[in-house]
């Protein structure tokens, strides 16, 4: 077929299929799905005629070099720690790469070599990072073009259950492992607030959560996501006295999550009691008693000890947390704990038992950018940009679609010669982000803008 392009897709996780589905529409693409276990690749490839599946160990440099060299472009949807390895293979072969991950220092170091090889290593083109950049920069550049300046920028994004499916005390559900969500609760946050640099330790992150007002139907709260202080420079908004990018959750999540943190559940040190080598039954009350150092494992004693770990003094919020603890079953002598080795992993197993998406349930993506603007004439206004998207029951999740489809769009634009900027890049300039923005609405991905 004339103009046919070959694409190597590394990984077959939940975001891979929307990306693959988009790329197979053109009729000109041949995609090879590669996983360490070929059966995983075949599960995805069999759904799309013309797609091939191979076994590939990306830590085998020779095999990776050969696979990358044999395709026009490689999409890396494997763990971010492997992206630099993939890019090195691409630089050798003078072939393009696309990832949805943040540019790590190891990836950034390859920028000059990528430019010299004449290749594009496109990154940060999923949801967060990705779509969030596109809609933020659109408004920022519009304001600058009109002679105005951004005096405050706040951005919050959440992957959440749709309201009707947020039916548990955390108001949260998992499409995959709970571990990453729990580990994120340990991250420090750093951002600008009213001209001051704010630094929050991971242990205090949940205490910093505050209401985020978007639509009256949503009771959402937000807290800082890692280090967003450098976005003043990255987005070219030096006048922004406030600059924060954060995570959004439903009301009630921070208080409950902070209680689990206070109890010590984020401890990932191996525990003999929790080892698979322990042949004794492991009811949850025994786990929680050891975690809390309680001499009694009776549910009433444990509940009393847990109540002392709740930080909020709001009576209603305290009641909600205690209801959540009982629902979780972590003081029960009847509920058995999974022997996963650490407190963190034992809790993950329990959350995954109780909080996975069920048949016909749907997720939701909610992203809000909020800008305070000083116009050229000295007047002020507030501009907002809101992306709200729901998953398809028993189809693609909103999270998978908003990560996978932008990745697919960027891939196609590179193959078609419509994005040409070489090096290790992110969609930070109009020549890169505008072609992607132009195609998102036809995929059902939009932002509703308002000026107040």
Q: Tens of pLDDT along 383-431? A: 999 999 999 988 899 999 999 999 999 999 999 999 999 999 999 999 9
Q: Which pLDDT score, from 0 to 100, does residue 1 have?
A: 40
Selecting among 128, 132, 345, 363, the annotated active-site residue is 128
Residue pLDDT, tens place only, 71-107:
999 999 998 889 999 999 999 999 999 999 999 999 9
**Which are the contacts of 409, defined by CB distance < 8 A and separation ≥ 6?**
22, 436, 439, 440, 443
State the DSSP code for 411. Answer: H
Check: pTM over 0.75? Answer yes or no. yes
Q: Which helix (H) or strand (E) holds 154?
A: strand 149-161
Does residue 160 contact residue 371 with C-beta atoms inside 8 Å?
no
Q: Are 178 and 351 in contact (CB under 8 A)?
A: yes
**pLDDT tens for residues 139-151?**
999 999 999 999 9
**Residue in 239, 2, 286 with CA at minimum distance from that of residue 140:** 239
Rg (C-alpha) for the chain, rounded Å, is: 24
Q: What percent of the residues of the chain are helix, what percent strand, and what percent coil, each to the nearest 5?
A: 40, 25, 40
pLDDT score, position 183: 87
Smallest CA-to-CA distance from 90 within 23, 27, 10 is with 10
What is the C-alpha to C-alpha distance for residues 446 and 449, in angstroms, rounded to an integer?
10
- Please count the CA atoms within 13 angstroms of the CA of 232 that sit on its side-chain side: 16
pLDDT at 357: 92
Separation in Å, CA 87 to CA 122, 227, 406 = 10, 25, 20
Q: How many CB atoms lie within 10 A of CB 436?
A: 23
* 431 catalytic residue (yes or no): no
Rounded CA-CA distance 446/437 in Å is 9
pLDDT at residue number 189: 96
Q: Compute, in degrees rounded to 10, the torsion defined by CA atoms 433, 112, 110, 113.
A: 110
How far is C-alpha 217 from the geometric centre of its chain's CA atoms?
A: 24
Spans in the chain with pLDDT lower than 70: 1-2
Contacts of 48 (CB under 8 A, 6+ apart): 20, 21, 24, 31
Q: Give the span between the Cα atoms of 370 and 240, in whole angstroms.
A: 12
User: In angstroms, rounded to a whole number, what is the distance separating the alpha carbons of residues 316 and 312?
Assistant: 10
Residues whose CB is less than 8 angstroms from the CB of residue 256 and which lie 6 or more positions away in sequence, other chains included: 169, 170, 320, 321, 324
| Predicted pLDDT at 3 | 79
The pLDDT value recorded for residue 181 is 87
**Quick one: three-class SS letters along 301-347?**
HHHHHHHCCCCCCCHHHHHHHHHHHHHHCCCCCCCECCCCCCHHHHH
Under 8 Å between Cβ of 176 and 255: no
Partner residues linked to 211 by β-bridges: 221
Looking at residue 47, the DSSP 8-state letter turns out to be T
Cβ atoms of 269 and 318 within 8 Å: the answer is no
Three-state DSSP at 99 gives strand
């Amino acid at each position: 077929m004339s103009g046919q392009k070959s694409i190597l897709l590394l990984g077959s996780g939940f975001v891979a299929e929307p990306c693959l589905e988009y790329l197979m529409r053109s009729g000109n693409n041949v995609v090879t799905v590669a996983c360490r276990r070929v059966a995983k690749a075949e599960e995805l490839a069999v759904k799309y005629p013309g797609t091939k599946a191979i076994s590939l160990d990306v830590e085998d440099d020779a095999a990776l070099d050969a696979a990358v060299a044999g395709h026009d472009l490689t999409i890396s949807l494997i763990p971010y720690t492997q992206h630099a390895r993939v890019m090195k293979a691409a630089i050798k072969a003078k072939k393009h790469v696309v990832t949805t991950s943040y540019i790590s220092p190891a990836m950034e170091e390859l920028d000059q070599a990528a430019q010299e090889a004449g290749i594009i290593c496109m990154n940060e083109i999923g949801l967060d990072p990705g779509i969030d950049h596109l809609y933020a920069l659109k408004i920022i550049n519009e304001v600058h073009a009109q002679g105005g300046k951004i005096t405050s920028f706040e951005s919050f994004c959440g992957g959440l259950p749709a309201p009707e499916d947020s039916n548990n005390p955390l108001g949260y559900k998992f499409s995959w492992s709970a571990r990453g969500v729990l580990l994120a609760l340990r991250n420090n946050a750093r951002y600008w607030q009213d001209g001051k640099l704010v630094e929050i330790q991971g242990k205090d992150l949940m205490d910093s959560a505050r209401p985020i007002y978007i639509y009256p139907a949503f009771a959402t709260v937000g807290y800082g996501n890692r280090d967003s202080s450098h976005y003043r420079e990255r987005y070219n908004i030096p006048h922004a006295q406030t600059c924060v990018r954060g995570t959004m959750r439903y009301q009630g999540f921070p208080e409950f999550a902070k209680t689990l943190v206070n109890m010590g559940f984020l401890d990932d040190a191996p525990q003999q009691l929790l080892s698979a080598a322990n042949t004794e039954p492991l009811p949850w009350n025994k786990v929680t008693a050891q975690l809390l150092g309680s001499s009694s494992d009776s549910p009433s004693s444990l509940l009393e000890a847990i109540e002392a770990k709740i930080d909020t003094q709001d009576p209603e919020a305290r009641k909600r947390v205690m209801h959540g603890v009982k629902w979780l079953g972590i003081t029960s002598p009847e509920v058995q704990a999974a022997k996963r080795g650490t407190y963190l992993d034992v809790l993950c197993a329990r959350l995954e038992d109780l909080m996975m998406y069920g048949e016909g349930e749907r997720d939701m993506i909610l992203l809000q950018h909020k800008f305070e603007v000083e116009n050229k004439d000295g007047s002020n206004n507030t501009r907002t940009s809101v992306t709200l998207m729901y998953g398809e029951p028993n189809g693609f999740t909103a999270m998978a679609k908003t990560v996978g489809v932008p990745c697919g769009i960027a891939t196609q634009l590179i193959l078609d010669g419509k994005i040409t900027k070489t090096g290790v890049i992110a969609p930070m300039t109009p020549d890169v982000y505008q072609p992607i923005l132009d195609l998102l609405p036809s995929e059902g991905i939009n932002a509703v803008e308002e000026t107040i």
